[in-house]
Amino acid sequence: MKVLILDGYNLMYRAYHANRFGQHHTIFNFFRSLRPIVEKFSPDKAYFVIEGVPVDNIELHADYKSNRQRAPGLFTDHKNVCIELIQSSFPITVIRHPNFEADDVVDGIIRYWHPTDDVTIVSSDTDFIQILNEFQGAKLWNPIKKQFIGTPEYDYVTWKALRGDSADAIPGIRGVGDKTAERMVNDASLLEAKLASDNNRQLFERNLALIRFSRLEEEMDVLEVSTPEKSWELVRSTFRDYEFNSIVNEKSWTKFVDTFDSLWSPGN
């Protein structure tokens, strides 16, 4: 089975920061870019994964992602429209866990539902590289660079726990950069020497817990999962109200519908 997993907020933020022409630019950019992604990978099953609150990580590290700017109100409004439309009318399963990040849910979808399937994750978030280390059938497509991300020849989680992640306000071990971390991952003696200090070991072990995706085996039944109904007239009517003329004209609309119609099945 070919499975497509879309990192929802990642794609919607990309749409928000793209061409800002028009009052509803995020919605337009998002749906205009979504169709060619689905067409390119032609999946049998598609998921759109959105964020919950990372309760465990915040409890472990109070500053976790505290450096992130609050989303603008306009983005929040546009994001909600995108999610509601997909939830109601698209053959794409919107999925969320209230107490875990989208990253953890993506790992759970692959680990417990599709461990041997051909899975493509669409995201510019490099945290997903750890999945490449573990699942041979998983691929990571960066929609900004428009290329697949290669699997590193070292354990990504250990490497990142050593160097930290400034984007998530996770400090690394002092004096350890990208190249030093890679050498340490590949040389156990170097790693142990660096972790001989109690402070370094505690920081490293905490970072491992923050960076490694949570195992949601007991949580998969708690997931919030959409049950859409086929309703292209609702979608087209909404797009017309927003004056998305380049999507709703007869030629483009037929192509739009045809791309997604192949996903309508009892399993979607």
Tell me the per-residue pLDDT of 207-242, one tens digit each, with 9 for 90 and over. 999 999 999 999 999 999 998 888 899 999 999 999
Domain housing 184:
156-211
Domain final position from 196, 211, 226: 211
Residues 99 and 135 placed together within one structural domain of the fold: yes
- The 10 Å CB-count burial string (b at 16+, else e) for 145-179 is eeeebebeeeebbbbbbbbbbeebbbebbeebeee
Domain assignment of residue 268, yes or no: no
Mean pLDDT, the chain, rounded, equals: 93
Residues 142 and 226 placed together within one structural domain of the fold: yes
Tell which residue, 9, 31, 24, 48, has the closest CA to residue 228.
48
* Element at 54 (helix H, strand E): none
Residues 96 and 129 placed together within one structural domain of the fold: yes
**Residue 58 burial by Cβ neighbours in a 10 Å radius (0-12, 13-18, 19+):** middle
Contact 123, 8 (CB under 8 A): no
Domain assignment of residue 266, yes or no: no
Q: How far apart are CA 224 and CA 51, in angstroms?
A: 11
Q: What are phi and psi of 205, to 5 degrees?
A: -70, -35
pLDDT digits (tens, 9 = 90+) for 95-147: 999 999 999 999 999 999 999 999 999 999 999 999 999 999 999 999 999 99
- Single-letter code of the amino acid located at 251: K
What CATH number should be reported for the domain holding residue 52?
A: 3.40.50.1010
Residues 203 and 229 placed together within one structural domain of the fold: no
Residues 123 and 137 placed together within one structural domain of the fold: yes
Domain assignment of residue 223, yes or no: yes
Residues 79 and 97 placed together within one structural domain of the fold: yes
User: Mean per-residue pLDDT for 173-202?
Assistant: 93
Q: Which pLDDT does position 12 carry in this prediction?
A: 96
Tell which residue, 181, 137, 182, 183, has the closest CA to residue 162.
181
Contact 2, 216 (CB under 8 A): no
| Total-model pTM | 0.93
In this structure, the number of other CB atoms found within 10 A of the CB of residue 252 comes to 15
Residue 266 pLDDT greater than 60, yes or no:
no
Residues 223 and 249 placed together within one structural domain of the fold: yes
Percent of the chain with pLDDT over 70: 99
Residues 237 and 129 placed together within one structural domain of the fold: yes
What CATH number should be reported for the domain holding residue 178?
A: 1.10.150.20
Per-residue pLDDT band for 268 (boundaries 50, 70, 90) equals low
Residues 70 and 180 placed together within one structural domain of the fold: no
Q: Which pLDDT does position 62 carry in this prediction?
A: 87
Domain assignment of residue 267, yes or no: no
Q: Which pLDDT does position 65 carry in this prediction?
A: 85
Q: How far apart are CA 88 and CA 229, in angstroms?
A: 6
Residue 70 pLDDT greater than 90, yes or no:
no
Percent of the chain with pLDDT over 90: 84
Q: Which pLDDT does position 264 carry in this prediction?
A: 85
Q: How far apart are the first and last CA of the chain?
A: 13
**Residue 267 burial by Cβ neighbours in a 10 Å radius (0-12, 13-18, 19+):** exposed
Per-residue pLDDT band for 73 (boundaries 50, 70, 90) equals confident
pLDDT digits (tens, 9 = 90+) for 13-51: 999 998 777 889 999 999 999 999 999 999 999 999 999
Domain assignment of residue 59, yes or no: yes
Q: Which pLDDT does position 267 carry in this prediction?
A: 54
Tokens 């603008």 belong to: 72
Counted residue by residue, the chain has a size of 268
Residues 250 and 206 placed together within one structural domain of the fold: no
Judged by DSSP in three states, 262 sits in coil
Contact 96, 87 (CB under 8 A): no
User: How many domains is the chain partitioned into structurally?
Assistant: 2
Domain assignment of residue 186, yes or no: yes
Domain final position from 190, 211, 232: 211
Tell which residue, 100, 109, 117, has the closest CA to residue 44.
117
Residues 73 and 165 placed together within one structural domain of the fold: no
Q: Which pLDDT does position 232 carry in this prediction?
A: 95
Residues 205 and 118 placed together within one structural domain of the fold: no
Query: What is the sign of the dihedral through the CA atoms of 40, 35, 76 and 235?
Result: negative
Q: Which pLDDT does position 23 carry in this prediction?
A: 87
Domain assignment of residue 76, yes or no: yes
